[in-house]
Structure 1
Amino acid sequence: MANPTLKACFDAKKFVVAPGIFDMISAKVADGMGFDCLYVTGFGTVASSLGVADAGIATYTDMISRIGRFAQMSKTPVIADADTGYGGLLNVRHTVMGYEAAGVTGIQLEDQEVPKKCGHTPGRRVIPAEEMVLKIKVAAEARRDPNFLIVARTDARTGLGLEEAIRRGRMYGDAGADIVFIESPESEEEMVAIGKAITDRPLLANNVEGGRTPILSKARLSEIGYGIAIYPAVGFLAVAAALERVYAELKQTGDSNGLPAQESYGFGRICELMGFPEVWEFDRRWAEAAAREAAK
Structure 2
Amino acid sequence: MMRGLAQRLRQPGLVTAPGVFDMISAKLADGLGFDALYMTGYGTVASHLGYPDAGLATYSDMVGRVRQIAGGTRTPLIADGDTGYGGLLNVEHTVRGYEAAGAQAIQLEDQEFPKKCGHTPDRRVIAIADAAAKIRVAAETRSSKDFLIVARTDARTAHGLDEALRRGEAYAKAGADILFIESPETVEEMEKIAGSFDLPLLANMVDGGRTPILGKTDLEQLGFKVAIFPVTGFLAASAAMASAYRHLLETGSSKDWQGTLYPFNDFSALMGFDKVWAFERAHADYTNPSQGAD
TM (norm. structure 1) is 0.96
SS in 2 for 1:263: coil
Which of 237, 261, 264 pairs up with 1:264? 261
Is 2:153 the counterpart of 1:154? yes
How many angstroms does 1:4 deviate by?
A: 5.5
Q: Is the 8 A contact 1:9 1:15 kept in 2?
A: no
User: Counterpart of 2:176?
Assistant: 177
Q: Give the alignment partner of residue 204 of structure 1, picking from 202, 213, 226.
A: 202
Please give the alpha-carbon distance, in whole angstroms, between the structure 2 residues aligned to 1:141 and 1:59. 23
Match of 1:274 among 271, 276, 280: 271
Counterpart-to-counterpart distance in 2, 1:141 and 1:8: 20
Equivalent AA in structure 1 for residue 226 of structure 2:
I
Match of 1:220 in 2: 218
| C-alpha contact 2:205 2:212 (8 A) present in aligned 1 | yes
Paired amino acid for 1:131:
D
Residue 266 (structure 1) shift: 1.8
Count the aligned residue pairs: 293
Q: CA 1:70/1:91 → structure 2, altered by over 3 Å: closer, same or farther? A: same
CA contact (8 A) 2:155 2:163 kept: yes
Conserved 8 A contact 1:44-1:233: yes
Task: Please state whether the residue corresponding to 2:4 is helix, strand or coil.
Answer: helix
Distance in 1 of aligned mates of 2:93 and 2:19? 24
Is 1:83–2:82 an aligned residue pair?
yes
* Structure 2 Cα separation of the partners of residues 28 and 12 of structure 1: 25
Please state whether the residue corresponding to 1:226 is helix, strand or coil.
Answer: coil
User: Cα deviations across residues 254-275 of structure 1 (Å, max 9, x unaligned)?
Assistant: 0111123x52112111110000
Query: What is the distance in 2 between the residues matched to 1:194 and 1:101?
Result: 32
Contact residue 3 and residue 75 of structure 2 kept, 8 A:
no
Q: Which amino acid aligns with 2:165?
A: I
Q: SS in structure 2 opposite 1:197? A: coil
Q: Return 14-23 or 282-291, whichever deviates more.
A: 282-291
| 2:15 counterpart residue number | 16
Residues 142-167 of structure 1 show CA distances to partners (whole Å, capped at 9, x for unaligned) of: 10011100000000000110001011
Tell me the secondary structure at the aligned position of residue 255 of structure 2: coil
| Alignment check: 8 A CA contact 1:3 1:105 kept | no
Q: Any gaps of 5 or more consecutive residues in structure 2?
A: none
Give CA deviations for 1:70-93 in whole Å, capped at 9, x if unaligned: 000110000000100000000000
1:4 and 1:147 in contact (8 A); partners too: no
Which 5+ residue runs of structure 1 have no aligned equivalent?
none
Distance in 1 of aligned mates of 2:148 and 2:99 = 10
Q: Percent identity?
A: 57
Q: What's the counterpart of residue 136 of structure 1?
A: 135
Q: Is 2:242 the counterpart of 1:244?
A: yes
Amino acid at match of 1:133: A
Deviations 1:261-295 (A, max 9, x none): x5211211111000001101101110135567875
Q: What secondary structure, in the 3-state scheme, does the structure 2 residue paired with 1:43 have?
A: helix
Give the AA of the match of 2:281. Answer: R
Judge conservation of contact 2:17–2:227 (CA < 8 Å) in 1: yes
